[in-house]
Structure 1
Amino acid sequence: MPDSLTRENATLSAVLLATTPACRLHSGDGTLLDRLGDQLARLPVREVQVVGSAGGLGGDLRGVAKIARTAAGALAVLPADLVTHTEALAVLLEHPARSTGALISHDVTGGPLRPPVRVEGGRVVAAGSSFHLVPESNATFRGVLQVGEADLTALADVAEELAELADTGKLGPVTPVETVDLLLVGLVRSGVRVRAAGIGPLHADRVIGQDAADAALARLSEVDEAKVRLDTSVKEDDGFFATFFVSSWTRHLIKPAVRLKIEPNTVTGVSAGLALLAAVWFAAGTPGGRLAGAALLYLSFALDCLDGQLARYTRTFSPLGAWADGMSDRLKEYAVYVGLAFGFGGTEIWYLAVAAMIAQVVRHAIDYSYAGAVADAARVGAMWGRPARSLLESRDVRRAPGGVLRFAQRLERDTIARWLKKIIVLPIGERMALIAVTAAVWGARVTFLSLLCWGGVAALYQLAGRIARSSR
């Protein structure tokens, strides 16, 4: 019978797989199992069940399946021979969405306890084990798997299928060490969307002997977890302007805002207020008004970045907050268009303002309709009509990307080209900078013409990319 530890007011359960002798290795005054249990106690984990090895790999997998079928809420599965930072666990387990995800490192140094994975678009699209190979892997799985409530049935089905395959020897000489690795393989191959939660410079290593455990524990002290949490609150894949001209200084406001107990939604509200003030100054139509409007628009965007950074730092983001933030961005931008057109005067400028608004609506429709279609397909497990891949295929079989996607992937490997690609799509940071500079220096006509020309190029680029990805 598994041991159980229960906490109130938490929304996540965890299964600790104490199926290898390494979980009893020494760590301070206790064992690695004790250490990991203490770390989970500091996270929003309602119940921890410790599963000992019984019946080999097949028995362990059936034990996980049984727990998954009765679990209420999301379920984390992790090996008890793991040496990791608490912050690394929090990257996955404190995410408010409680969706299915896996802890990964972009360090591609593989090994028996570091199975390869391939990550695309923030998702694990291929996962490996000693039996399952991953061509073109670009990351490694670090042993922690979280399964959202909606995917628990899929987890149970996968675990039972794997148990049967393991018992009949069809997966080769796999052992209980690979329990969580095989579960990740099964979920990915069954079409479940698995978020890739990167640990960055943090450590998460499974160990075999005491020397390896001591070395892994020593490496933990080499990393400042507080600094890493601050650094990772800033989006690493943000646009050029936001990265170098905004986030470079707003990151220093995060801790003061936390100390003052300022909520992300409060920052969003102030950002919206500054944008409306910018629109009022633009409506004045004077050189001084345009300069003041440009400065206020820049500050509004800076706070727009800060609210996201603050939400990620405190891990208080939510779907509602993300929706409100996105709606606020659209309303602020269109209010500024109205202010610029009003300040310039004349009928012609309103045509340009409306055209710029329509162009932005079309661009967002391209983005969000595609993302929504992909999400709908994932929810029904369709994977765009592709059949689920068999767990008995030793090699991940995927169609090679087409010419456009191969070209885009080559660009991603070059730093300058990657930044140029981000600039081309005219993200909100570049748009705010374009509006502020052109409005302050030349006026509304140049602003709207610039938005239409650059936005048209960006829309064509995005449309080509969506078509290429869909046809893949």
Structure 2
Amino acid sequence: MPEPAPAPSSGSAPRPSPGAGPAPARPRPERGGPSATLVAVLLDTAPGGAAADRLAGQLVTLAVRELHVVTRVAGPRPPASRVTVSGGLPADLRAVAAVARACTGPVAVLPGDLVAHTAALALLLADPSRGTAALVSPPGDGPPVRVEHGRVVAAGNSFHVVSAANGTFRGVLHVGVADLATFAEVADELADLAQAGVLGHATDAEVADLLLAGLVRLRVPVRAAPLGLLHVGRMAGGPETAAAVARLAEVDEERARLAATVRSGDGFTATYLVSTWTGPLVRLAARLGMTPNTVTGLSVGLAGLAAVAFSAGRRRELLAGAVLLYLSFVLDCVDGRLARYTRAFSPVGAWLDAAFARVKEYVVYFGLAVGYAGSVAAGPAGPDGIWALAVAAMLLQSIRHMIDFSYAGAQAADLGLERPDGALARPAAPEPKGRLAVLPDRDTASYWLRKIVVLPIGERVLLIALTAGVANARVTFLALLAWGGLATLYTLTGRIARSL
């Protein structure tokens, strides 16, 4: 197929040629403000509007405050929606670009023939990060995608080919504020390509599929949001329509919604020793009207009681402190699940959860050191250098957190990568199998071993509780330093290798 280099669309910045040096930073719309709310573009271009009307009703219950409907024929539409009558795929894409350029908040794009659980839509539309993401499911019928390390790295449609696909795009795309300018440019460029007939047999139903492929080919980080037990499908008319609606009723949406509150990237302890039995606690907290911040406060209180118990230094109190510390971690997991379950997100809550996690851990270190030192005069470092060990453990954890945040910041800043001219006009070429790094199966021992070796918070809490309850604080600090040192070396080696 020929590979013409399309002219930049109206409002698009000229693209640098390969090797022309770093791409200029993309403009970022201002965050916040009254207008920085979620805007949804509903592509109701299929015959009949029953599915679109149902979908519009679901969007009202979520975070959507402005609904744009792109349709073929003007007619009655949901209240407070803005209607654009479009003549085909190029016009659909230009309508999406116009919405993206006019918005100061995130934008969601959904096909009008979508049949979905409301909780499935909430996985993207009520996500507190408000970043760019797409709903994906295991491989099946639909546009193929390849997911690596939680991100969509290749996306297909009737024009773009994906090698070694390990998932399916479910048609719901959410674009964060930082990527709106690029998103609008992608939509306009794809519209030009569709107008010129370069996109082959791409159809009106593939707007979201094409946009996802365009973002991925520009190396925009797109988080893959897994559906889990929830269902999202497309209505094709006739028996398939009835089957798609029937599938929704086959799933206990409440149970699936509760299961979806468990983060897929949690460690072994959080996944198997906490999340497996805390679902009823999440439901109870929701029924009692408790907020995630209230649960966070209770978690902090239990950690404080654990530190007081550890400070006594006697075996009975050490065992009590170990139990209280574990329960504090349980509530630390419950507050996050409660926030996702009730969709009660707030920047303050996220900051409190992260900040108090460190405070709780270091208060427990202090209690352990006090209990071990007792009233014995053993120099400024305490008996057996317990204070030096406590400070060393705190410093090591602080360094590990600094490495995590600095690496995440470096990844977030690395968004200025541009593609060669005509990249959106070329079908994806198959990549060598040896270069693929598909996420390992979560059920394999190697996956969990890699999760455990980095000593996440759940494993640290369990290590502290077991060593303090069975042995003493000195053993606890030595274990934290040994395992934490190994985890730091492992993390640094892996990230340096990945960066290179």
1:396 Cα deviation from its structure 2 partner: 5.4
* Cα distance change, pair 150–411 in 1 and its aligned pair in 2 (3 A): closer
3-state SS of 1:306 partner: helix
1:126 and 2:126 correspond? no
3-state SS of 1:193 partner: coil
1:291 and 2:319 correspond? yes
- 2:325–2:465 Cα contact (<8 Å) kept: yes
Question: Which residue matches 1:451?
Answer: 480
- 1:64–1:156 Cα contact (<8 Å) kept: yes
- 1:18–1:51 Cα contact (<8 Å) kept: yes
Question: Which residue matches 1:368?
Answer: 405
Question: Which residue matches 1:327?
Answer: 355
Higher relative contact order (CA 8 A, sep 6+): 2
User: Where do residues 213-228 of structure 1 align in structure 2 (5 Å cutoff)?
Assistant: 213-228=241-256
Deviation per CA, 1:103-125, whole angstroms, max 9, x where unpaired? 211x2013xxx111122233222
Give, as a single letter, the amino acid of the residue that structure 1 aligns with 2:52. L
Note the aligned Cα RMSD (angstroms).
Answer: 2.3
* Cα distance change, pair 410–324 in 1 and its aligned pair in 2 (3 A): closer
Which one of the candidate residues 69, 93, 113 is aligned to 1:81? 113
Give, as a single letter, the amino acid of the residue that structure 1 aligns with 2:233. D
* Cα distance change, pair 99–237 in 1 and its aligned pair in 2 (3 A): closer
1:188 and 2:216 correspond? yes
TM-score using structure 1 length: 0.88
User: Where do residues 20-59 of structure 1 align in structure 2 (5 Å cutoff)?
Assistant: 20-21=46-47, 23-24=48-49, 31-53=50-72, 54-59=86-91
Residues in 2 aligned to 1:356 and 1:97: alpha-carbon distance in whole angstroms: 31
- 2:149–2:439 Cα contact (<8 Å) kept: no
Question: Which residue matches 2:498?
Answer: 469
Percent pairwise identity: 58
Which one of the candidate residues 225, 229, 237 is aligned to 1:197? 225
Residues in 1 aligned to 2:472 and 2:422: alpha-carbon distance in whole angstroms: 57
Residues in 2 aligned to 1:96 and 1:366: alpha-carbon distance in whole angstroms: 24
Question: Which residue matches 1:3?
Answer: none
- 2:148–2:439 Cα contact (<8 Å) kept: no
- 1:16–1:78 Cα contact (<8 Å) kept: yes
3-state SS of 2:110 partner: strand
More helix by share: 1
- 1:10–1:45 Cα contact (<8 Å) kept: no
Residues in 2 aligned to 1:202 and 1:454: alpha-carbon distance in whole angstroms: 38
3-state SS of 2:95 partner: helix
Aligned length: 445
Deviation per CA, 1:117-169, whole angstroms, max 9, x where unpaired? 12223322221111111122211111111222332222221111001111112
3-state SS of 1:248 partner: coil
Residues in 2 aligned to 1:426 and 1:242: alpha-carbon distance in whole angstroms: 12
**Range 47-56 or range 163-172, more displaced:** 47-56
- 1:127–1:185 Cα contact (<8 Å) kept: yes
Give, as a single letter, the amino acid of the residue that structure 1 aligns with 2:406. S
Residues in 1 aligned to 2:129 and 2:442: alpha-carbon distance in whole angstroms: 30
**Range 283-292 or range 32-41, more displaced:** 32-41
Residues in 2 aligned to 1:410 and 1:52: alpha-carbon distance in whole angstroms: 39
1:220 Cα deviation from its structure 2 partner: 1.0
Question: Which residue matches 2:123?
Answer: 91
- 2:454–2:488 Cα contact (<8 Å) kept: yes
- 1:102–1:144 Cα contact (<8 Å) kept: yes
Residues in 1 aligned to 2:429 and 2:366: alpha-carbon distance in whole angstroms: 52
Give, as a single letter, the amino acid of the residue that structure 2 aligns with 1:20. A
User: Where do residues 304-343 of structure 1 align in structure 2 (5 Å cutoff)?
Assistant: 304-343=332-371
Residues in 2 aligned to 1:146 and 1:70: alpha-carbon distance in whole angstroms: 16
Give, as a single letter, the amino acid of the residue that structure 2 aligns with 1:48. L
Give, as a single letter, the amino acid of the residue that structure 1 aligns with 2:122. A
1:216 Cα deviation from its structure 2 partner: 0.7
3-state SS of 2:108 partner: strand
* Structure 1 spans left out of the alignment, 5+ residues: 1-7, 25-30
Deviation per CA, 1:348-407, whole angstroms, max 9, x where unpaired? 1111111211221222222221111101223xx248xx86981122115778777xx95x
Question: Which residue matches 2:41?
Answer: 15
* Structure 2 spans left out of the alignment, 5+ residues: 1-33, 73-85
Question: Which residue matches 2:29?
Answer: none
Residues in 1 aligned to 2:227 and 2:441: alpha-carbon distance in whole angstroms: 20
- 1:10–1:44 Cα contact (<8 Å) kept: no
TM-score using structure 2 length: 0.84
Residues in 2 aligned to 1:163 and 1:411: alpha-carbon distance in whole angstroms: 37
Residues in 2 aligned to 1:35 and 1:58: alpha-carbon distance in whole angstroms: 26
Residues in 1 aligned to 2:250 and 2:271: alpha-carbon distance in whole angstroms: 27
**Range 435-444 or range 231-240, more displaced:** 231-240
User: Where do residues 25-424 of structure 1 align in structure 2 (5 Å cutoff)?
Assistant: 31-53=50-72, 54-105=86-137, 107-110=138-141, 114-345=142-373, 346=378, 347=382, 348-378=385-415, 381-382=416-417, 390-395=423-428, 412=441, 415-424=444-453
3-state SS of 1:247 partner: coil
